[in-house]
């Protein structure tokens, strides 16, 4: 018969005496769900017909990596999987574990499987902190199925976990819990015997909603904040502990914005920021800008992205956008925070509401593609430098037509030895006028026999 396992992380067989100290554990630890039915959230991977749910119930779990922010249930889910599949649950923290610790658990798992057929689940928290050597030790036993690995990480495993280990695992991304889901956890803790049920508690809906909102998707933070509120609030005349909005506000600290300066939050947020400006959504762009500023993102990094967006996504539809963006970038360097937020905001609003054209990038990329893949064109002799002694003998500059000699400022002539066109104005914003002007130029060139495919000038 399989021994019960400790879902709270020790990985040791439990007896009643060992279970008793859990009564003094934090509320979030006491309220860990024990089954899939108790688990709240993550419906995108744990819905009734989802792959992970079916695999757990059929005991067909392979090695997996659970990836998501704190307090979303990674450790809890690993424990539930071990219990549902009647597996021995071994736990390591990648910050503390050595190669010797890994080898010891792997040897025990092999011995267990050989003598009793018992299965072992090895849960490694913060697996992204394992170095290559530590991860490589796991590979043979993970690949053979001797041990089923469940790794947990707040960092994108495709960037931070060795490719061989990721390729042998299924990756499931956990999302921050929603406000209703966290409210469900909070209400359950007030009535569950493992939670606050022995106490007489009245909790206002707006108080629970505040805890759920400020916890920023972290169920553990919300539960522990509720516990602080309960334990520090005296009962009223009716002997009930009353959790009001004011109590809730005092019980939970100002939330720390989930933002890793060199990980997913950094790249995902700046991506959303740029796409919001490109998509002409100033409100969304300001939200992502504010998130980065509150989280302490490097303001020079933000300013650089604003400048790039002005040139790449507004471009010739409104060239003034680049002027505004560069002015904001210089202001950021000059004044610093907190005032730097103002010129950045102005530039973001300008770019977000400006007409859009990406011809600045498509045009230069098309020209560079021709250079890289085609024959390099020679400079026509009329355009070559004729300002040095002897250039006249080579006929450099001969036949060049100075544009300002014509009152219109334009004289048709070939500036390439063969016809090429890279710039195609969109007809949006200022480019509509540019398009009209270029059409006039091209008509004049065509009427005078210029601008057609022809060999290089001799």
Whole-angstrom distance, CA of residue 169 vs CA of residue 136: 14
Task: State residue 450's pLDDT score.
Answer: 55
Res 177: pLDDT = 93
Other beta carbons within 10 angstroms of residue 191's beta carbon come to 10
Distances, alpha carbon 70 to alpha carbons 125, 177, 220, 261, 422, in Å:
11, 10, 8, 16, 49
- Predicted confidence at residue 6, as pLDDT, reads 40
Q: Which residues pair with 173 in a beta bridge?
A: 67
pLDDT reported for residue 457: 36
Per-residue pLDDT, 256: 57
Our measurement of the distance from residue 91's CA atom to the centroid of its chain's CA atoms, rounded to an integer in Å, reads: 28
Handedness of CA 60, 64, 69, 74 (dihedral sign): positive
Distance CA 77, CA 53 (A): 11
How many residues in the chain?
458
Cα 15 → chain centroid = 43
pLDDT at residue 262, rounded to an integer: 61
Please report, for residues 396, 411, 418, the alpha-carbon distance to residue 453 in angstroms, rounded to integers and kept in the order given.
Answer: 22, 18, 5
3-state helix, strand and coil shares in percent for the chain, rounded to the nearest 5: 50, 10, 40
pLDDT at 15: 34
CA 374/CA 366 separation, integer angstroms: 12
Cα–Cα distance, 371 to 365 (Å, whole number): 10
Question: Residue 157 — φ and ψ, nearest 5°?
Answer: -65, -25
Q: Quick one: which of 90, 83, 104 has its CA closest to 2? A: 83
Q: What pTM value is reported for the model?
A: 0.63
Exposure of 83 in the CB half-sphere (CA atoms within 13 A): 20
What is residue 254's predicted lDDT score, i.e. its pLDDT? 63
DSSP string over 197-262: TTS-EEE-HHHHHHHHHHTTT-HHHHHHHHHHHHHTS---TTS-EEE-HHHHHHHSPPPPP---TT
Question: Are 252 and 221 contacting, i.e. CB atoms less than 8 angstroms apart?
Answer: yes
Peptide bond before residue 338 is cis, with ω within 30 degrees of 0: yes
Give Cβ neighbours of residue 179 (< 8 Å, ≥ 6 apart): 209, 212, 213
Per-residue confidence in pLDDT tens, the chain, 458 aa: 334 444 333 334 433 333 434 677 899 999 999 999 999 999 999 988 899 999 998 888 889 999 998 889 999 999 999 999 888 999 999 888 889 999 999 998 888 888 888 889 999 999 988 888 888 888 888 888 888 999 999 888 888 888 888 888 899 999 999 999 999 999 999 999 999 988 999 999 999 999 998 888 899 999 999 999 999 999 999 999 999 999 998 888 765 566 666 667 788 899 999 999 999 999 999 999 999 998 888 899 999 999 999 999 999 999 999 999 999 999 998 888 889 999 999 999 999 999 999 999 999 999 999 888 877 888 888 888 877 777 677 778 888 888 888 888 888 888 888 888 899 999 899 999 999 888 888 888 888 765 444 433 33
Q: How far is CA 27 from the centre of its chain?
A: 30
CA 345 vs CA 270, 318, 327, 341: distances in Å? 15, 18, 12, 6
Exposure string over 324-355, b if 16+ CB within 10 A, otherwise e: bbbebbebbeeeeeeebbebbbebbbbbbebb
Distance (Å, whole) CA 265 – CA 296: 12
Alpha helices by DSSP H, 319-447? 320-335, 341-353, 359-373, 431-447
Q: How many angstroms separate the Cα of 117 from the Cα of each of 87, 109, 111, 398, 456?
A: 10, 10, 9, 91, 80
pLDDT for 320: 96
Q: Which domains does the chain have, with CATH numbers?
A: 16-173 (3.40.50.300), 179-251 (1.10.8.60), 264-353 (1.20.272.10), 375-447 (no CATH)
pLDDT the model gives residue 133? 83
């Amino acid at each position: 018969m399989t021994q019960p396992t400790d879902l709270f992380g020790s990985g040791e067989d439990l007896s009643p005496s060992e279970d008793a100290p859990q009564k003094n554990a934090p509320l979030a630890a006491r309220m860990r769900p024990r089954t899939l039915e108790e688990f709240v959230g993550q419906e995108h991977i744990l819905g009734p017909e989802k792959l992970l749910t079916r695999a757990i119930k059929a005991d067909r779990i392979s090695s997996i990596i659970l990836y998501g922010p704190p307090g979303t249930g990674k450790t809890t889910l690993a424990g539930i999987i071990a219990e549902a599949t009647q597996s021995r649950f071994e736990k390591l923290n990648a910050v503390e574990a050595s190669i010797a610790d890994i080898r010891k658990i792997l040897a025990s798992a092999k011995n267990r499987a050989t003598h009793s057929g018992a299965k072992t689940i090895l849960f490694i928290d913060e697996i992204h902190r394992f170095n290559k050597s530590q991860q490589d030790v796991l590979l043979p036993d993970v690949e053979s199925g001797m041990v089923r690995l469940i790794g947990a990480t707040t960092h994108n495993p495709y960037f931070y976990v060795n490719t061989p280990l990721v390729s042998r695992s299924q990756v499931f991304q956990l999302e921050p819990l929603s406000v209703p889901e966290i409210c469900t956890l909070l209400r359950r803790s007030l009535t569950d015997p493992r939670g606050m049920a022995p106490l007489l508690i009245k909790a206002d809906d707006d108080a629970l909603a505040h805890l759920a909102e400020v916890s920023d998707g972290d169920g553990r933070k919300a539960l522990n904040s509720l516990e602080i509120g309960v334990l520090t609030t005296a009962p009223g005349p009716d002997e009930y502990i009353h959790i009001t909005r004011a109590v809730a506000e005092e019980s939970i600290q100002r939330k720390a914005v989930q933002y890793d300066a060199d990980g997913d939050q950094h790249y995902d947020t700046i991506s959303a920021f740029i796409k919001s400006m490109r998509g002409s959504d100033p409100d969304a762009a300001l939200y992502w800008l504010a998130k980065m500023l509150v989280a302490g993102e490097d303001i020079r990094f933000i300013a650089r992205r604003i400048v790039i967006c002005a040139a790449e996504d507004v471009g010739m539809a409104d060239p003034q956008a680049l002027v505004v963006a560069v002015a904001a970038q210089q202001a950021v360097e000059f004044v610093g925070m907190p005032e730097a937020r103002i010129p950045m905001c102005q530039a973001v609003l300008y770019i977000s509401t400006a007409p859009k054209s990406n011809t600045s990038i498509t045009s230069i990329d098309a020209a560079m593609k021709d250079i890289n893949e085609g024959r390099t064109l020679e400079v026509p002799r009329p355009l070559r430098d004729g300002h040095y002694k002897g250039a006249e003998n080579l006929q450099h500059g001969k036949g060049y037509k100075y544009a300002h000699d014509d009152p219109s400022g334009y004289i048709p002539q070939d500036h390439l030895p063969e016809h090429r066109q890279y710039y195609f104005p969109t007809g949006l914003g200022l480019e509509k006028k540019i398009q009209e002007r270029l059409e006039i130029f091209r008509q004049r060139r065509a009427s005078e026999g210029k601008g057609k495919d022809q060999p290089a000038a001799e």
